Structure 1
């Protein structure tokens, strides 16, 4: 017959303490709200110490107010990325609000670190993306429609309707990044002659667009 295995009181207590220790350690790793006062490293923001974490780290109220669309694009994007919303640090999600006035546009841009999915809450827009095979995928969206833009691909939204459009977009990263094509070409000091040579635009037109976007060179 097999003998019953006996556990000594000391072993039992040690096992119980280890369970408590690892459970507490795991709980401390449930979330990592951003510590904006600490240096930012290659992996992103450091986390607040557990004693400094509050429920306010997990609440963001900035998306309830319409953005200012008085700009060249007639559009405003209000982000709730890790830079603005500490609670999403390390969780791989984030959100933005986009307000687009009639005739406005979210210009061609890409997010190098995230797939994006948009929900049209108000209005009618034309949205689309371009694949790496340079095929365009374009659709007119109405209230309640959603559309996904795969990670890293150029995409855009145009409001050609007579009323404002409101969009909420979510991302598969807390820090999706964004590169706007117009700003990359015309808002900095990329030499005009090189832009003209690489895009086949006229140098005069390049300089005109730099005047619109505040670029030089």
Structure 2
């Protein structure tokens, strides 16, 4: 009986693993203390090649600049300063990155997604109205003040807008060394090559002339 029970439990374990083989698969996991990115390497892998440990220094694990306010004098009134593996080579294989978000009064960090990362945002100054859209179209949104935290699940469209009278600042943690960024409007109306006017007109239920006017606005930003 004991042997039969063990075989049954083993079968359940194998079935569970087969049903979700990628459940724990995100960024590459470290197999040593660190794998500082060798940005000079031309080898293409899923991540970045490790620098020779003998060539690693403390500066590979440090980044300076988040104390400086981002320039929000742009069409959106916002600026994201991203600290990913390209800015901080020591993040390679560790599965994390971070960013500073600056938003002027009335400014917006437009709807976007991070295809490879969940984001946790902490407001450190001002107020923000933030939210994300679930796959069924439900909006989860809330006004945040200093010290408040909000999480945006991996891959879901989300946004932040300054709803206060003074500049707003947030610090975000992301669960990938290279979270990626897809701005919804930019991707659809400013892509290269362009998405067909017919596709966009039908998707947004507008006419082709309106699509062309919107596309022209994004073309001027390139």
Report the equivalent of 1:166.
169
Report the equivalent of 2:205.
200
Report the equivalent of 1:138.
141
SS at match of 2:99: strand
Note the residue ranges of structure 1 that are not aligned, 5 or more in a row.
1-27
1:182 to 181, 185, 188: 185
CA–CA distance in structure 1, aligned partners of residues 77 and 48 of structure 2: 32
Contact residue 110 and residue 154 of structure 1 kept, 8 A: yes
Report the equivalent of 2:36.
33
1:90 partnered with 2:93: yes
Report the equivalent of 1:101.
104
Contact residue 39 and residue 45 of structure 1 kept, 8 A: no
1:182, CA displacement in angstroms? 1.1
CA–CA distance in structure 2, aligned partners of residues 153 and 102 of structure 1: 25
Equivalent positions of 1:14-93 (< 5 A) are: 29-93=32-96
Report the equivalent of 2:114.
111
1:112, CA displacement in angstroms? 1.0
Contact residue 109 and residue 156 of structure 1 kept, 8 A: yes
Q: Which has the larger radius of gyration?
A: 1
CA RMSD of aligned residues (A): 1.6
1:40, CA displacement in angstroms? 4.9
2:124 to 121, 124, 138: 121
1:71, CA displacement in angstroms? 1.4
CA–CA distance in structure 2, aligned partners of residues 163 and 42 of structure 1: 44
CA offsets, 1:111-149, max 9 Å, x none? 111110000000111001011111100100011100000
CA offsets, 1:70-124, max 9 Å, x none? 2111100000001111011100110000100111111111111111000000011
More moved, 167-176 vs 198-207: 198-207
CA offsets, 1:18-73, max 9 Å, x none? xxxxxxxxxx9200111110025241111110111000000001212111112111
Note the residue ranges of structure 2 that are not aligned, 5 or more in a row.
1-30
Report the equivalent of 2:217.
212
SS at match of 2:198: helix
Contact residue 62 and residue 80 of structure 1 kept, 8 A: no
Q: How many pairs does the alignment contain? A: 189
The structure 1 segments of at least 4 consecutive aligned residues displaced by more than 3 Å after TM superposition are none
CA–CA distance in structure 2, aligned partners of residues 212 and 162 of structure 1: 28
